[in-house]
Amino acid sequence: MAKKISILIVDDEESVRDSLYNWFIEDGYRVECAENAKKALIMLESDQFDIILADIKMPGMDGLEMLRRIKAFRKESIVIVMTAFATVDTAVKALKDGAFDYVTKPFDPDDLTHLIRNATKQISLVEENETLKKHVVSLESVEDLIGNSEGMKNVLREVESVAQTNSSVIITGESGTGKELVARAIHANSPRKFFPFVSVHCGALTESLLESELFGHEKGAFTGAMYNRKGRFEMADSGSIFLDEIATISTKMQVELLRVLESKTFIRVGGNKEISSDFRVICATNRDLKHMVEKGLFREDLFYRLNVVNIHIPPLRERIEDIPLLVEYFISKYCTTMNKPMVTIDPAAMKRLQEFNFPGNIRELENMIERAIVVGDGKKIRMKDLPLEKTIVTTTAESLDDFEKSFILQILSKYNWNISRTAKALKVDRVTLYHKIKKYDLKPADQQ
């Protein structure tokens, strides 16, 4: 038993209280007794019990009145009523008033065992449900959006303020900046959080497929449509729908989408029945939608319908101060998932990561860390574990000299300052490399 279940026995007969007490104590429960309803209610004010087993017929306040009072201040309490004089009326009354079960004394030992087992199962289901809800929320909460930079703080502020509304949101940002994560955070912090979050990748589907995906289809609507199928709008009822890469949808789909957003009703492909669904729309794009509107590539009315709130996620290169936090987060994430001991990162490797421009943004950083954990020595992520050499653009290169300096340093680091190997990789002789090191005053990271 993970948690010790507590039971309160309320009965005016001492022999009944003693019998039940002995029975439950042998099962490892925490058991307390009260000889009347009044005493039980006093005990319940200062102590919580998972299960209350109460007799109906007691002098003073009877079990049914006590049940009503308990339910009034602690609705989730599990109350089982017992009686020596079973009538259908009292049973119905007790169950209507919220009793978990109703038993007639004396009962079979096996019935008592089952009764308590069912009650404890109910308790664990409720607890499990609560834990799962908390887990789902924490998985997709704003806290999962990592960043301490001013840019990310703005995003977090916007997410929190927009989450409580029902407004449409467009999330903009380069590929890999975490647009879907922001969309999920909006959903997870909204009153719709316990309803579905449905994600559609518009760019990955052809026009006809997207239509069927969004609106659903009726059996026989097209070749291969063997069964009726719910569309994503229908699935997102009471929740949120996330339309990724919204800029890629065709003009025809833009018209359809506008109509659905205005009426919140649609018809399945091949169907004739109007279906309504209550959903919130969150879109994302890495393109400049306003520019597309000016060029006539995206409908202006749809743009304004979607662009009630715009959240822009800055690229990673504009918030390099977030890189250490993100690295730490991904190390923890992947070491846990791969069941490996936690690794650290070499300061030189971290410095190089902060110099890198990350065209693929956070997704690229995440992949790098995942790979480094797989190929690394299991203790520390070093420069050699990071595939940084293929990208030679640095954020600090403002001249050819800067570029050369940075590039040579990068290759030197890759070969752990082995001059011969670095010279070979750079296709220059060792003397030239020494000249360059002297010229740019290059030093290993740990000597800087």
Partner 1 sequence: MNLQNITLISFGYFERDFLEKTAEAVQHEFQYAVNIKEGHIDLSEYYDPARRQYNGNMLLKQVDTFTFPESVKIIGLFNVDLFIPILTFIFGQALLGGRTGIASLYRFSNERYGMTGNDQIQLDRFKKMVIHELGHTFGMTHCHTPTCVMRSSTYVEDLDQKEQHFCIHCRPRLEKTF
Contacting residues toward partner 1, per CB under 8 A: 1, 13, 15-16, 18-20, 22-23, 25-28, 82, 105-110, 112-113
Shortest Å, Cβ 60 to partner 1: 21
Shortest spacing between CB 228 and partner 1, in angstroms? 46
* Length of the chain as a residue count: 448
Radius of gyration in angstroms for the set of CA atoms belonging to the chain, rounded to a whole number: 32
Q: Which is nearer to partner 1, 19 or 166 (CB)?
A: 19
Cα 401 versus chain centre, distance: 46
8's enclosing H/E stretch is: strand 6-10
Shortest Å, Cβ 113 to partner 1: 6
Rounded CA-CA distance 14/441 in Å is 91
Nearer of residues 110 and 441 to partner 1, judged by Cβ: 110
Two tokens at 364? 């690229």
| Closest approach of partner 1 to the CB of residue 107, in Å | 6
Measured from the CB atom, the residue of 23 and 440 that comes closer to partner 1 is 23
Q: How far apart are CA 274 and CA 157, in angstroms?
A: 38
Round to whole Å and give the CA distance between 159 and 166: 12
Q: Which is nearer to partner 1, 109 or 341 (CB)?
A: 109
CB of 271 to partner 1, least distance (A): 53
Q: Which residue has the tokens 């004396």?
A: 106
Q: How far is the CB of 221 from partner 1 (least distance, A)?
A: 54
H-run or E-run covering 199: strand 197-201
Pick 28 or 387: Cβ nearer partner 1: 28
Task: Give the number of other Cβ atoms within 10 Å of residue 183's Cβ.
Answer: 25
Decide if 6 contacts 30 (C-beta within 8 A).
yes
Q: Which is nearer to partner 1, 53 or 205 (CB)?
A: 53
**Torsion over CA: 397, 398, 400, 405 (sign):** negative
**Integer Cα distance of 82 and 107 in angstroms:** 10
CB of 89 to partner 1, least distance (A): 23
Query: Burial of 177 by CB count in 10 Å (0-12 exposed, 13-18 middle, 19+ buried)?
Result: buried
Residue 89, token pair as written in the block: 């009326």
**Looking at this protein, which amino acid is placed at residue 387?**
P
One-letter amino acid of 278: D
Shortest separation between residue 103's beta carbon and partner 1, angstroms: 10
Query: Between residues 11 and 385, which has the closer beta carbon with respect to partner 1?
Result: 11
3-state secondary structure of 29: coil
Cβ proximity to partner 1, 113 vs 416, nearer residue? 113
Q: Least CB distance from residue 86 to partner 1, whole Å?
A: 14
Instruction: Kindly tell me which of 85 and 227 has the beta carbon lying closer to partner 1.
Output: 85
Say if strands 30-34 and 51-55 run parallel, antiparallel, or are unpaired.
unpaired
